[in-house]
Amino acid sequence: MLSTIALDTQVIRPGLCTGCGACQGLCPYWGSAEGRTVCYFDCERKDGRCQQFCPRMPTDLNALQSRFFPTETILPEIGPFLGLYRTRAAESGIRRGAQHGGTMTALVELALQEGFIDAAVLTRSRGGLEPEGVLATTSKEVRACAGSSFQVPPTLAVLNRALQENRYQKIGVVGTPCKTLAVYKMKAKPLPENDHHADNIGMVFGLFCGWGLDWDGLKNLTEKHLNGASLIHMDIPPSKYHALELQTNSGETVSVNLDEVTPLVRSGCRYCTDMTAEFADLSIGGARSASGWETDKGWNQVIVRSEKGMELLELARKKGVLEFEDTPEGALDKLKAASLGKKRTGGELLRQRSEEL
């Protein structure tokens, strides 16, 4: 096993860190400042949880996946797969505050109400700037976390603290692919004598993700284009629009050319090979179809990965919590192609980086 010094030299300094927070909330040695992971002190422990949980430390992904999911359900392009669905929250109030169709908010709220989980680790986007990890235990707190940010807060530090407190027995976690991978590394109990109360992780909800952006860079970019207006929402529509959309409190939408945005992509995100959060019970992203963006942005696409995820989704159908539409023809193939493209690009960049190191 490796020490914390190795984590700093092999992940932080080479620019591989995702900022997920899996190394934080465990001891005084690790922290975060404006989206950057900071190692405050060197540590010589050979069995630290920080390096065991880090999604950028060496991991046998196939073995980890096979441990938690039936091998016959695993597709090479998108991971464990029990079905693809097109959904949105039935309640208009949830949809109004959501990133797309509000499916994630509706499902986490339902999971709390029905006892699938007894708390949820979420990210409160705060309009898209300076997001923060929170532990939610009520519907009101869940709804306050609707929406997304392209900054990456260390949300898993909240999970680490909650697990150590041992107050909740079925904690749900919502996160991007790097975060959900880290959660499954926790669930694998790499240190049996100190399993970090990993059995208290109840469900994992994954978010489709292309990349996150530099914390300060995104802040400066929005200040430049909003001219003092308050940001309440941000989104990236399909690639043909080549834009980042910023919505202000006055109802104005400002379109920023992606040529200004892509230089701000976090270094660690460039090496990611997972677009659809393959380690999760349910993975959710914005819908894509021939109907066009004006229709699709009000809907989500959902990958069911586990029996527990299917049970929750079907309960949402039965109770009318979600509305369902037929999945467009070719949607799965399109999703596979996009995911495979990210695997190839991230894998090649990671190979090149490894050779440089």
pLDDT tens, residue by residue, 199-210: 999 999 999 999
pLDDT tier at 171 (50, 70, 90 boundaries)? very high
SS3 category, 164: helix
Q: 44 and 162, same structural domain?
A: no
Q: How many CA atoms lie within 13 A of 301 on its CB side?
A: 25
309 versus 5: the higher-pLDDT residue is: 309
Q: 74 and 179, same structural domain?
A: yes
pLDDT for the residue numbered 263: 97
Give a yes or no: residue 249 inside a domain: yes
Q: 141 and 178, same structural domain?
A: yes
Task: State pLDDT tens for residues 265-322.
Answer: 999 999 999 999 999 999 999 998 888 888 898 999 999 999 999 999 999 999 999 9
Go through 334-355 and write b for each residue having 16 or more CB atoms within 10 A of its CB, e for each that does not.
Answer: ebbebbeebbeebeeebeeeee
Q: 293 and 171, same structural domain?
A: yes
- Domain's final residue, options 235, 264, 293: 264
Positive or negative, the CA dihedral 334, 339, 344, 345 is positive
On the question of pLDDT at 192 being above 90, the answer is no
How many separate domains does the chain show? 3
Q: What share of the chain has pLDDT > 90, as a percent?
A: 79
Q: 81 and 94, same structural domain?
A: yes
H and E: helices and strands count for the chain: 13, 15
pLDDT tier at 5 (50, 70, 90 boundaries)? low
Least confident of 40-44, 131-135, 352-356: 40-44
Summarize the confidence of residues 124-140 as an average pLDDT: 95
pLDDT for the residue numbered 1: 41
Tokens, residue 229? 């207006």
pLDDT tier at 4 (50, 70, 90 boundaries)? low
Q: 257 and 310, same structural domain?
A: no
What 26-30 contacts at long range (C-beta under 8 Å, 24+ apart), as own/partner pairs, is 26/50, 26/160, 26/164, 29/4, 30/4
On the question of pLDDT at 107 being above 80, the answer is yes
Q: 290 and 189, same structural domain?
A: yes
Q: 34 and 70, same structural domain?
A: no
Q: 200 and 96, same structural domain?
A: yes
Q: How far separated are the first and last CA of the chain, in Å rounded? A: 19
Q: 270 and 122, same structural domain?
A: yes
On the question of pLDDT at 6 being above 70, the answer is yes
CA geometry: angle 311, 313, 318, nearest 5 deg: 90
pLDDT tier at 3 (50, 70, 90 boundaries)? low
CA-to-CA dists, residue 65 to 279, 327, 339, 341, 345, angstroms: 7, 26, 17, 20, 21
pLDDT for the residue numbered 354: 82
Task: State pLDDT tens for residues 243-252.
Answer: 999 999 888 9
**Containing structural domain, residue 243:** 215-264
Average model confidence (pLDDT) for the chain?
Answer: 93
Q: What share of the chain has pLDDT > 70, as a percent?
A: 98
SS3 category, 196: coil
Predicted TM-score (pTM) of the model is: 0.95
The span from the CA of 257 to the CA of 245, in Å, is 9
Give a yes or no: residue 59 inside a domain: no
Closest CA to 159 of 138, 140, 133: 133
- The answer for residues whose C-beta is within 8 angstroms of residue 109's C-beta and 6 or more apart is 94, 139, 142, 143, 321
Report which residue type is found at 132.
E
Q: 304 and 203, same structural domain?
A: yes
CA geometry: angle 208, 279, 294, nearest 5 deg: 15
- What is the pairing mode between strands 282-286 and 300-304? antiparallel
Closest CA to 150 of 95, 222, 75, 73: 222
Closest CA to 299 of 278, 328, 319: 328
Please name the residue that has the structure tokens 């995104």: 218
Q: 220 and 208, same structural domain?
A: no
The span from the CA of 231 to the CA of 310, in Å, is 36
Please name the residue that has the structure tokens 């899996």: 22
228 versus 131: the higher-pLDDT residue is: 131
Residue 27 gets which letter from DSSP?
S
Give a yes or no: residue 147 inside a domain: yes
Residue 207 gets which letter from DSSP?
E
